[in-house]
Each structure stands twice: as C-alpha cells, then as structure tokens.
Amino acid sequence: MKRTTIDFGIDLGTTNSSIAERSEGKLNVFKNNEDQESTPSAVYIDRNNHLIVGRLAKERVESDPDNAFQEFKRQMGSGFEYVFQRSGRRMKPEELFAEVLKTLLACVQQRTGHRPDAAVITVPAAFGLDQCNATKRAAELAGLRETALLTEPVAAALAYGFLNERDRVHWLVYDFGGEHLMPP
C-alpha cells in the first residue's frame, strides 16, 4: 500500500541522530543494531576502506582522528571537505550526513521490511538557506524522495501539542542540544 503521508521523523543531530515513526497515534523510535534509539553522528573509514557509521566511528575520533569525523553538522552548507587521510577520500558534510541517514533508513528497513522514501528532518532554528539546502542534499544522497525540513523548536512544540490532550496549555520549548548533555 502506498503511503499518502510522511510518517517518519528524523533528528539529524550534531552528536546523535535518530528516526521515529508515528503510526496509529503512537510514536515508535527505531533502535539501531546495537539496540539503541540513537546513533552517533560519526563516520570512519577503516584500514580496509570500509565506511563505518555510529558508535564504532565515534570511538575512532580520538584514536584515529585522521580517518574519523563527527560534529560535521557545524559545517553544513559551507563547502568544507573532510579528508580521510588513509584513503584520500574527500567528503562534504552533507555526504557524511547522507551516510548517517542511510544507516538510520537501513535500521527501519531491517525492522519493518520497508525502506522509507520520505521523512521530516529537523534542523536548528539558526540554520540558513545554504545549511537547509545541504540538509536536503544529504537526504537526496541517502535516497529519500521527499523531505520536509522543520526547525527543532517547532518540531518539539508540535510533538507536545499532538501528545497533549488538554486544551489551553502553554509549553516552553528549549533545545539543549546533544553537546550540552555530554559529561564534562
């Protein structure tokens, strides 16, 4: 059956990313192959030239910093290129995020048998046009046919609004961001 709505939401985060689906009024956050609801936004190319995304890549950022990268969201839309020294491979931030997105989409396919082709992706409220366009390019590179971008604070407010059954409630939405939740 062909979908007529976009039911998948992706938090493409600086430190971690996750994907969820709203189905029958309930929210399902998909777990990755390590049984975690979020995947570190990190990419590593190993000695065999295999591209690795997630926790293993994040662990290599300190031990092999010339071949592992994270926090590339900060460079979205800038034209900056990351160079993996071992292989010489060059990737723009949107190409790195495309790999993160492919990993998230593969987790959904593994659990449901269907790969999403449309999603809402959250972006920081401070993202400009170049950064939003780079995010859309990342989605296209990952194979998403349709992508709607929604700023993170708006997404949070909408989520609480949909989940709240009371009328006339005021919500304060504040985006702490992943890096603020990390231990010092």
Confirm if 173 and 160 have CB atoms less than 8 A apart: yes
- What CATH topology corresponds to 8-152? Nucleotidyltransferase; domain 5 (3.30.420)
pLDDT digits (tens, 9 = 90+) for 55-73: 999 999 999 999 999 999 9
Over residues 113-136, the pLDDT tens digits come to 999 999 999 999 889 999 999 999
What is the maximal distance between C-alpha atoms in the chain? 58
User: Where on the phi/psi map is residue 110: left (φ > 0), alpha (ψ -120 to 50), or beta?
Assistant: alpha
Q: Where are the domains of the chain?
A: 8-152
- Taking the model in full, what pTM does it have? 0.85
Position 28 scores a pLDDT of 87
30 DSSP assignment: P
